[in-house]
Amino acid sequence: MISKKTLLAGAFAAVLTTGAFSFAAHAEDDKDLTIYKSPYCGCCTQWSDALEDAGFNVTVRNTEDLDAVKRQVGVPANMQSCHTAMVDGYVMEGHVPLEAVKRVLAERPDIKGLSVPGMPMGSLGMGEPDADTNYTVYTLPKAAGGEPTVYQQVSGK
């Protein structure tokens, strides 16, 4: 007959060897990110690679119809860029800097997400930042018809 103590020890050992304990200890650091992008876009790949290098679990969804994705998640036309990503319930539109992604996930503001409209030079995935790098990260409001606000300003190196 097996004792309760032996059963508990076996269960605990199983949790440790399957990695469940490790996952629970690091769950707050593990973020799943899904990026929707054109299969032909190199800057989108650079952006997603940078997020993966930073510890995000990146899933790439190549699509020919990015407009449908943007409509579905509610990115206004004036806030659109070349790719759309979803991470922990937030939309990340375009070349949002890593620092802004991490900040929004830490602060958990009541917004739909963040956007870097267009494809500004020096933004993450769009070449190295230099003295001329200057762009704005905007919030995407949850309410339909709400106005984006400045979340972060990014200036030269």
pLDDT digits (tens, 9 = 90+) for 105-147: 999 999 999 999 987 666 666 677 777 887 889 999 988 778 9
How many percent of the chain have pLDDT more than 70? 74
Answer yes or no: are the C-beta atoms of 20 and 43 closer than 8 Å. Answer: no
**Following CA atoms 97, 103, 106, 112 in sequence, which dihedral angle do they give, to the nearest 10 degrees?**
-70
Tell me what pLDDT residue 151 has: 93
pLDDT at 153 over 50: yes
Mean per-residue pLDDT, 56-80: 91
Tell me what pLDDT residue 51 has: 85
Query: Mean pLDDT over all residues of the chain?
Result: 77
Tell me what pLDDT residue 31 has: 87
Answer yes or no: are the C-beta atoms of 142 and 111 closer than 8 Å. Answer: yes
pLDDT at 30 over 90: no
pLDDT at 91 over 90: yes
Tell me what pLDDT residue 16 has: 33
> How do strand 90-94 and strand 113-116 relate by DSSP bridges?
parallel
Task: Annotate 23-48 with b (16+ C-beta within 10 A) or e (fewer).
Answer: eeeeeeeebebebbbeeebebbbebb
Which residue from 141, 155, 56 is spatially nearest to 93, judged by alpha carbons?
Answer: 141
